[in-house]
Amino acid sequence: MCTRYSRSRRALHWLSAVIILWASVSGFGVQAFPPGCAIRQWVESFNPQITSVFIPFFAWRLWLKCTQPGSANLNVAGAVHWALYGLVSAVLVTGVLMMATPVTMFGLFTLPSLVHDAVWLARLHHWHQLACMALAALVGLHLAAVVWHQMRGHTVMARMR
């Protein structure tokens, strides 16, 4: 029998899963549409808003990971999880920094752009894309590992229900 994570860690895991999967699939998917397409414009407007709202929840999740028992796993699974946390952090930080224009948050308030130099904005955009691709690959590996463990009778999903 495996130990379940706390209710808050489980809720934050599933919130993270939904946001990361949505942002990854929609972010990569809209590249198939031309820049002026309404769907692409909507996704490119919505994603920075939803991921900005996600930042404090991710910070809370990271804090719980660092402070609750079981956070010092020194095995492959532990290393992959720490890599996931690192890549999510990189995606969020570069995403905030690469915004060339202020972002209006659901019509309530505006987040200012923080970097104004075109060269740095291009670098940040490039780093953001690389971090997103690495995160998508690692999320795929994570999902494959869950399926593999479940098929072998190790009920890893029981910890997250």
With beta carbons less than 8 A apart as the criterion, state whether 15 and 5 touch.
no
Residue 131 is encoded by which pair of tokens? 């971090």
Which sequence spans correspond to the domains of the chain? 7-160
Q: SS3 for 103?
A: strand
- The answer as to CATH 1.20.950 being correct for domain 7-160 is yes
Distance of CA 161 to the CA centre of its chain: 20
d(CA 153, CA 97): 43
- Indicate the pTM of the whole model: 0.90
Q: Tens place of pLDDT for every residue, the chain, 161 residues? A: 457 788 999 999 999 999 999 999 999 999 999 999 999 999 999 999 999 999 999 999 999 999 876 655 678 888 899 999 999 999 999 999 999 999 999 999 999 999 999 999 999 999 999 999 999 999 999 999 999 988 898 877 777 77
**Strand 109-111 to strand 103-105: parallel, antiparallel, or no bridges (unpaired)?**
antiparallel
Q: How many residues does the chain have?
A: 161
DSSP conformational letter for 61: H
Rg (CA), the chain: 17
Tally Cβ neighbours within 10 Å of residue 153: 6
The residues, any chain, with a CB within 8 Å of residue 39's CB and separated by 6 or more, are 30, 33
